[in-house]
Structure formats: structure tokens, C-alpha cells
Structure 1
């Protein structure tokens, strides 16, 4: 047993810590009836001290087990590869930027509450599409995934009534694309 435990590696600290926190928060909220998700992990706008804390923590809260598993499964599938390619620090910064950008626009445009890591998932999906980029060329897989995901979110935002922040998904994707654009622009400057 000790040999097996010695072989287990905490291989992706940002992704694993995020996923473990989100999972723990969800189950603690279900086991102990304190309504901590609604109290601390939903951002509804505003700039009080509690609102600012919620503006950073809201991606860790999830409304249902399906919501949690959908987001965390994708984060655990693609996040470690991204963390290895771009570094733990970069992924953490991108998660924070995605969180703040989505929270800010959600509060200004809709004024409604937001929770869940879907925007972070979309940011990671966009980053994943560029992991095999060579010589500054845009992968066709990126174009295809961007069109599919963004078209779905725009369609749902315009024609489907639900409690999902399609804007959050789109903004998360834009953060991922923005990062890739900045990285590629800096690579071109280094070549010149």
C-alpha cells in the first residue's frame, strides 16, 4: 500500500486544488444545512466586502451534482495538460481573470447571481485548441470548436430561457482566446 501511495503525484496543483475545493464545498453544503453556497459562492454584483469575496469565490459553487460533475470532469480532463504547457501560475492567473471578467459583466449587464465553473471550462477549451499550434498557424480544430461552442451559446442566449449564463461561457472563451493572441503576438516580437 505504501508503494502505491508513493507513486501518486499531485500532478496539477491548480486544477486539483480547484476541483477538490469545488467538490468539498458542494458536499459540505449538502451535508450541513448552512446554505454556504448561496451565502458565499454566488456573486450577485456589488462592491461590499462580502460581494468582493463572492466575486472571487463564485466559480467554486455549483447548483447541482450534474452541474458540478459537468464542470469538474472537463476541468480535470483538460486542465492538467494546460497546466503542464502554460504553467500553474499562468492557469491560476487565467482562472482569476476569467472569474473577475465574467462576474463584472454579469453584474453590470444582468444584475443576477452567478455560480459555477463553466466560464473557466470554456477558457480551457479555447486554450486546448491551441496546444498543438505550430509556426503561428491557426489550427482548424480551434476554428471548428470556437464556431460550434460560440454559436451554441449565442443561440441559447437569444432563443432559450434557462438559468445558464451564456455570456459567462462566451467571456470565458474570449479570455482563453485573448491569452493565446497575446502569447502569439509576443512570440512574433521575439522573432523580429
Structure 2
């Protein structure tokens, strides 16, 4: 039996995120702050090239090991199944689009910074509920996931924490959009 690199996008994302955290902790302090955290609207500098790069790279930065592990457990659980269902290229595109749109909105609307892959994880959670969609049917699993997810984010939105509930909500919205788009495209009669 040999080990296979079965989900290249998922595994590469997880390994790179781990390397970024280790580099920040042991080799280059403030690496995450400088390259893997997006600024909010009060500090976003449109004259700074790195600010535009961070519109996407923030998903690889994590505040600490616990933050990384909590995101990567779900990421590594859901990613391979999504890559098998939708293809690695499609999943990479979904991750990029979710990161970019969430980053842009955060940079120009919200005053707080943003880092971590939890928005991507929430996109994957919602997208996974579309795995067995039949044409013309709305899966109960999607409705339950969406309801629980929205309830959790709304109930915690007022809490004083460093959690970006907007990032989670945006990820969930993007997962629903991708789920509907992918399933409507793949189910079209030929």
C-alpha cells in the first residue's frame, strides 16, 4: 500500500498554511501580519502593492496553532470529497473566488483585519451539502446546514471576539452559489 497525494489543492493549501505558520513562529516573525493578513478599510492602503496580494493570501495565515488546526481539520475532511466531485481545478477556482470577494469586501467595508481559512471552510461545508442534489429538488441537508449555520453566525455576531462572522457568512453564501451553479451546469440535458 502506498500513500497518494489524492487531493492536490486541499493538501497543498493545508501544507502551505502550516509552513506559513511555522515560518512566522520560528523564522520570520510578523510574516503573517505583513503578507497573510488583510487590512480593514481604515488601514487598507491602495497605493501598496502588497495590500492587493493580501486580498487573497490572508486565507493562508492563521493567528496560532489552534486556529490553524480548527480550520484544517474541516478543510482536510471536506476538500478531498469536493475535489473528487467537482475536480481539483474547480475547487481551486472556488477557493480563489471566495477569498478574493471576501477580501475585497472586508478591505473596503469593514474596519477590522482578516486572516485564516474559516470562510473557505464554511464555503466547503455548504458546498458539501449539495453533493447529491437531484434536478428540481432542494436537499433537506442543505436547508438544515444553512439554517444551523446562519443561526450560529447571527447568535455569535454580537459577541466580543476576533472571529470574522462576515467571513464565515460570505463563505457560506459562496458555497451555496457554487453548489447551485455547479449542479445546474452538470445536470443540464445534452
TM-score (ref. length: structure 1): 0.91
Higher helix share goes to which structure? 1
Which residue number in structure 2 is paired with residue 154 of structure 1? 154
**2:184 maps to 1:177:** no
Contact 2:130–2:142 (CA under 8 A) maintained in structure 1: yes
**2:108 maps to 1:108:** yes
> Within 5 Å, which residues of 2 pair with 1:44-59?
44=39, 45-47=44-46, 48-59=48-59
Q: Deviations over 1:71-114 (max 9, x none)?
A: 01100001000001000000000000110111111122213210
Which residue number in structure 2 is paired with residue 32 of structure 1? 27
**2:83 maps to 1:86:** no
Distance 1:95 1:65 in 2: 22
Paired residue secondary structure (1:161):
coil
Deviation at 1:132, TM superposition (A): 1.7
Deviation at 1:64, TM superposition (A): 1.2
Distance 1:89 1:62 in 2: 24
Contact 1:122–1:173 (CA under 8 A) maintained in structure 2: yes
In structure 2, runs of 5+ residues without a counterpart are none
Deviation at 1:142, TM superposition (A): 1.1
Deviation at 1:187, TM superposition (A): 4.9
Which residue number in structure 2 is paired with residue 117 of structure 1? 117
Pair 1:187–1:14, CA change in 2 (3 A)? closer
Contact 2:135–2:184 (CA under 8 A) maintained in structure 1: no
Deviation at 1:17, TM superposition (A): 0.2
In structure 1, runs of 5+ residues without a counterpart are none
Q: Could you list the runs of 4 or more consecutive aligned residues of structure 1 that deviate by over 3 angstroms after TM superposition?
A: 184-188
Which residue number in structure 2 is paired with residue 14 of structure 1? 9
**2:36 maps to 1:41:** yes
